[in-house]
Amino acid sequence: MDLLRRCFKRISDTFWSPDIWLPPGNDWDSVKLSCPGFPEFSDLVLPIYYSFIIILVRALFEWLIARPLGRFCGLKDSGSQLPHLFQCIVHRFRAFMHMASGHIYCDANESETPDPIIRLIHHKTVLDKFAEVCWRAVFYEGIFLYGLYALWDKPWFWDTTHCWYGYPYQPVDPEIRWYYLIELSFYWALMFSQFVDVVRKDFWVNFIHHITTILLLSFSWADNFVRIGTLVLVIHDAADFWMETAKMARYCKKNRLCNVLFVIFTAVWCVTRCGIYPFKILYSTLLEAPAIIVFFPAYYIFNSLLLVLFVLQLFWTTLIIRIALNAVRSGETDDVRSDDEDNEEEKLKDDENASTASEFDFQEKVKLS
């Protein structure tokens, strides 16, 4: 046991070596002693706990606010007695228990399935999807406005060189701390809920995006790259609200409103993700930072994660361009990556000589996720 303890301590000391995480000539004790507001690595456990609170708040919001709003807009109710998120969790759990016990799990498509919950939740209704995007729209707008409030009087919000002056001796204000931890909690919640949410064609791209965002947020917190991290967050939050509200309009068959919101979303996306992010954020981390701070290994890791995030954004930009081209041809903002459930429904309706419009839906938020 003592040998195992010494081995673990050696691994921990090697991993947290100041030579890796801090500029030359600095160590953890001196940094934390001279900078009382320095981020603590132990804080990163809190967002995992908070994520379950966010999932609970989301389920209650969808059930008590978003679904009544959807019904008011004319969407049909499934008549279920549980929030859809809870139903999906029950469904996945029962499927897992059936497989673990060696039984063949009955497909929920079969009309003779005895379990009414399984029959009810195999496919999401339009109202379910409306409630899901309504939750994300409210969260994205709320966190974006809070981010502006927290950053408005900060010098690095207006001049990115202040992200590096005095590094790593940069205390974190309480409002910035909460901004960071709430964002990280939300992305943990997305990581957990994506396995019970509707499956998209780009599921694995979103999966990589969420992992990259969580790593980027966690890494930047542990190494106090918080200032540049907050800029990445607020930039990415700016466009997501318009994307989700456009989907809400789409589900309500308000095509003209959907097109207007889509135009706003595209403009904000191009300005923030394809303009400000590469030419301000990446420019600052790749060119401004080396002129102010000394290179160290963690700096290269941080920049690598930022570049991975940018590659994912370029992928989604191509999807937006394809949607825009489709809109010019058809007059509707059809989604080029509609979910698997929609594809199944379209096939069934094609057999009945009915047409179905594919839903408008893109990537979920990274901020740094």
Q: Could you give the CA distance from residue 107 to residue 125 in angstroms, rounded to a whole number?
A: 18
Whether residue 22 has pLDDT greater than 70: yes
State residue 83's pLDDT score: 56
Contacts of residue 159, defined as CB under 8 A and 6 or more positions apart, other chains included, come to none
Q: Which of 86-100, 178-192, 336-350 has the lowest mean pLDDT?
A: 336-350
pLDDT-derived band at 275 (thresholds 50, 70, 90) equals: very high
DSSP per-residue string spanning 86-97: HHHHHHHHHHHH
CA count, 13 A, side-chain hemisphere, 323: 25
Q: Could you give the CA distance from residue 44 to residue 177 in angstroms, rounded to a whole number?
A: 11
Q: Average of pLDDT values for 141-146?
A: 97
User: Which long-range contacts (C-beta less than 8 Å, at least 24 apart) are formed by 273-279?
Assistant: 273/235, 273/236, 273/239, 273/313, 273/317, 274/313, 274/317, 276/235, 277/232, 277/235, 277/236, 277/310, 277/313, 278/310
Contacts of residue 208, defined as CB under 8 A and 6 or more positions apart, other chains included, come to 312
pLDDT tens string 78-111? 655 455 555 555 555 555 555 555 554 444 443 4
Q: Which element (helix H / strand E) includes 148?
A: helix 126-151
State residue 64's pLDDT score: 92
Q: Which of 180, 159, 131 is nearest to 283 (CA)?
A: 159
Whether residue 346 has pLDDT greater than 70: no
| Residue tagged 């396995």 (tokens) | 195
CA 126 to chain centroid, in Å, comes to 22
State residue 243's pLDDT score: 92
Contacts of residue 283, defined as CB under 8 A and 6 or more positions apart, other chains included, come to 160
User: Which long-range contacts (C-beta less than 8 Å, at least 24 apart) are formed by 244-250?
Assistant: 244/133, 244/134, 244/136, 244/137, 244/140, 245/137, 246/333, 246/360, 247/129, 247/133, 247/359, 247/360, 247/361, 248/130, 248/133, 248/134, 248/137, 250/333, 250/359, 250/360
Q: Which of 240, 248, 262 is nearest to 66 (CA)?
A: 248
For all residues of the chain together, what is the average pLDDT?
80
CA count, 13 A, side-chain hemisphere, 209: 23
Identify the residue with better confidence: 223 or 78. Answer: 223
Cβ-in-10-Å burial (0-12, 13-18, 19+) of 143 comes to buried
Length of the chain in terms of residues written: 369
Contacts of residue 127, defined as CB under 8 A and 6 or more positions apart, other chains included, come to 67, 70, 71, 75, 76, 77, 78
